[in-house]
Amino acid sequence: MIVLGLSGALGHDPSAALLVDGETVAAAEEERFVRDKHARNRMPLEAARYCLEDAGVSPARIDAVAFPYAPISIFSPARWHYAWRHWYAPDRALDAIFNGNRRYRRNRARVTALGGELGIDWSRTDFAPVEHHLAHASSAYHLSGFEAAAVLGVDGKGEYATTFFGVGEKGAINRIHEFYDPDSLSGVYGALTEYLGFEMLDGEYKLMGMAPYGDPSRFDFAPLVGCTDGDVRVDARLVNTVGFRRYRDKGRGRYFGPGLVERLGPPRRDEAADEPYIHHAAAMQQAYEDACLELIERYLGDVLADTGRLVFAGGGALNVKLNKLILDRDDVDELFVQPAAGDAGTALGAATYVANRSGDPVRPMTHVYLGPAYSSRECREALASYPGLSARELDNVPACAADILAAGHPLAWFQGRMEFGPRALGARSILGCPSVPGIAARINAEIKYRERWRPFCPSLTDAVAADILGTDHPAPFMTIAFDVTESWRSRIPEVVHVDGTARAQVVTRSANPRYYALLGRLGALTGAPVVLNTSLNRRGEPIACTPTDALDVFVGSDLGYLVMEDLLITKEATQGA
């Protein structure tokens, strides 16, 4: 069976994924092709075209189009809960009761039109809507390879649901409990993200990076979340607000209310402002962790006692600090966090759900190299448009790259198929040697132009992972933070956060042979087969997709070296350095 998954119902992070007989053969986010981060209010036209062309599948052969947004019955508690909790906005409350599937109908029309542009024959291709949180759940459970596991989904919201607790067993996913909008843990986290001056649905990881610098005891944000006795009742006067309850700034309504500003002071505007905002970040992270752990115990404790396994997806699953605490639980032996856990991953989740429902055994996810690849010839052709750059063919790419890194230089690394999801995992990366003092600050200041307190992450070989991270738990996707062992903190200081943790990627030879060889060569030179790894882009841009994208980053920053497939690209000023 051929299933094309398409996401984009919620107005951000549209993507496409293609499954053939249960195997994920291609997946990509629209933002990478249109060069518009998060590709807001778009549908995944270019991403879908890529998936079909890469797999050699004509639109006429597609059996089903899976879409992670579905109609919700009037008999569901979801619509009634939404109406009750939004009593102060009667237009929204009444709309939920009497016209609650309006957005679904609009989205179905958009998908139908998109299918027409792709050449899909709707007379023989099924349109298969999947509830948003079931798509998140499927993306984690069906790709984990676990036969039985607790299933957790924490997200802003889908149709109405915000948080999902379930159990996966023998291919089936059964709901245990859900919470509904506005009672959203991720929504509160997003509201505080916006209060701290970052963009909601983009800057949550910035709040997470800021949190270790603050003191969570300075503020108590537990009442905002309202998690008590297994229930969540967000204080909708202060956060997750709509209509007249919203704080307005220069004519724009925010996701928090004036009451929050009265309690905490003015929202953060100056990027250099730390006090008291680092404490707000710390308190929010603490409240989020406490609520999630309490709810896991309440709704999934029995399942974990039986299985020892938990799978996790939704935007809230990208919180690596929470994931560390989940893995630290005595009843969690294995944790699988779907690497494209945000809404981009729901294209894959909807497709896996439909494929499984149709009888195709879904193959576990072992890597995320599912995007476009380019040959050395194509890279050289792109270089023709960039005067002042030169290229030479390399006989041993990993050795040359390792020599540059060991000499203290940052390096752009463009190899193979692009990653699916928000993390660069050795295909579209900027690398540095983590034992070189100041390399992280240099990459921040001269290349990435990021906030100074955001951490960089390590990629390391499986041969040293247990020694560095204190565990042999799989970590292929950079979705979990680990405590770096004392003996290694001083050896790789540039990738250890202020709290002693690192969001690590453990690389295996089978998943990425060339990247693994680079790490091995660097280990031979420095004693540590570890690199600082960050995404190949500049602040506010999507990760590079094409050779042209990589070259734009290269010429638009102080990078001196770019390895694209078998080519070493340098600037005239760098030659001989």
**Residues with catalytic roles:** 12
Residue type, 192: L
Distance CA 190, CA 185 (A): 9
3-state DSSP percent of the chain in helix, strand and coil, to 5: 40, 20, 40
Distance CA 346, CA 317 (A): 13
- Three-state DSSP at 249 gives strand
Distance CA 152, CA 462 (A): 27
Inter-CA distances, 478 with 176, 185, 318, 482, Å? 28, 22, 9, 10
Distance CA 535, CA 413 (A): 9
| Cβ atoms 426, 507 nearer than 8 A | yes
Closest CA to 50 of 375, 418, 343: 418
Q: What is the DSSP letter of 100?
A: T
Distance CA 545, CA 533 (A): 17
Q: What is the DSSP letter of 258?
A: H
| Cβ atoms 45, 28 nearer than 8 A | no
Closest CA to 158 of 352, 12, 366: 12
Distance CA 489, CA 66 (A): 45
Question: Strand 23-29 and strand 15-20: pairing?
Answer: antiparallel
Contacts of 289 (CB under 8 A, 6+ apart): 321, 322, 325
| Cβ atoms 161, 81 nearer than 8 A | no
Closest CA to 280 of 224, 356, 341: 224
Contacts of 416 (CB under 8 A, 6+ apart): 369, 373, 427, 512, 514
| Cβ atoms 467, 527 nearer than 8 A | no
| Cβ atoms 186, 314 nearer than 8 A | yes
Paired tokens of 341: 């856990």
Paired tokens of 350: 């909807």
Contacts of 275 (CB under 8 A, 6+ apart): none
Closest CA to 43 of 67, 15, 62: 15
Closest CA to 485 of 503, 472, 458, 467: 467
